[in-house]
Amino acid sequence: MLKIISFDMDGTLVSSRYVESVWLERMPELYAARYDLELEEAKERVYDEYMTVGSGRLEWYDLMYWLAYFDIDETRESLMNRYLDRIEVYPEVEETLQMLSEYDLVVTSNGARAFVEIEMDGIEHHFVALFSTTSDFKKVKGSPEAYFDLCSHLGARPEEVVHIGDHRYFDYEVPMEAGLRAFYLDRERMESGPDVVHDLREAAERILGM
Ligand SMILES: [Mg+2]
């Protein structure tokens, strides 16, 4: 019996434009200024450093870690507040969340809690809880334990929860392994199948038909 619907954040409810502006645009600009480099050179170095850590580790998601690691004198807040106008909620989100309002809706993101809270602005009233697995559980969604923690916080059994997100491994394979139901959101429309949806409205229709 399905009770709870869990959504990934970036690439699922909101586009990645905001987080990419912070991580891929502004951080290299600050790095270039700090070390007196051309922007292209700074980008290469910063991206290399990110990749050395990789998205499977907690540090990847931790802006404070990177500001300290690069020795950049900028607060997390000023960096995060700079691009608020680039937060883009996908057009079908409002309608989808209304369609699913009989369920408890939650957000489950790898992104740091500060990011998730900022990006939720305007849609937060639809959700009963929001979880940053890296801030709240100290786990990346790459391990089933992150989803076990989610279920235990929700007081739900894994089979009572469906998770939807745009990362095939973090948002589909891992939650399935943890015993949840899951849909892979493929906004690029490269794949199809019973567990693949191309926008959130399609996910809502599948869920309501379950
Ligand atoms: Mg995502």
Q: How far is the CA of 100 from the centre of ligand 1 (A)?
A: 20
Average pLDDT of the chain, as a whole number: 97
- Return d(Cα 94, Cα 91) in angstroms, integer: 7
Q: How far is the CA of 7 from the centre of ligand 1 (A)?
A: 9
Q: How far is the CA of 166 from the centre of ligand 1 (A)?
A: 5
CATH classification number, 4-16+88-208, choose in 3.40.50.720, 1.25.40.10, 3.20.20.100, 3.40.50.1000? 3.40.50.1000
Asked if the model's pLDDT at residue 161 lies above 90, the reply is yes
Q: How far is the CA of 171 from the centre of ligand 1 (A)?
A: 8
Q: How far is the CA of 165 from the centre of ligand 1 (A)?
A: 6
Integer-rounded Cα Rg, in Å, for the chain is 18
* pLDDT recorded at residue 28: 98
* pLDDT recorded at residue 210: 87
* pLDDT recorded at residue 61: 96
Q: How far is the CA of 47 from the centre of ligand 1 (A)?
A: 19
Residue ranges of the domains in the chain? 4-16+88-208, 17-84
Q: How far is the CA of 29 from the centre of ligand 1 (A)?
A: 24
pLDDT digits (tens, 9 = 90+) for 70-127: 999 999 999 999 999 999 999 999 999 999 999 999 999 999 999 999 999 899 999 9
Burial 136-146 (b: 16+ CB within 10 A, else e): bbebbbbbbeb
Q: How far is the CA of 36 from the centre of ligand 1 (A)?
A: 33
Asked if the model's pLDDT at residue 15 lies above 90, the reply is yes
Q: How far is the CA of 109 from the centre of ligand 1 (A)?
A: 7
* pLDDT recorded at residue 200: 98
Q: How far is the CA of 114 from the centre of ligand 1 (A)?
A: 16
Dihedral angle, C-alpha 195, 105, 86, 58, nearest 10 °: -80
* pLDDT recorded at residue 72: 98
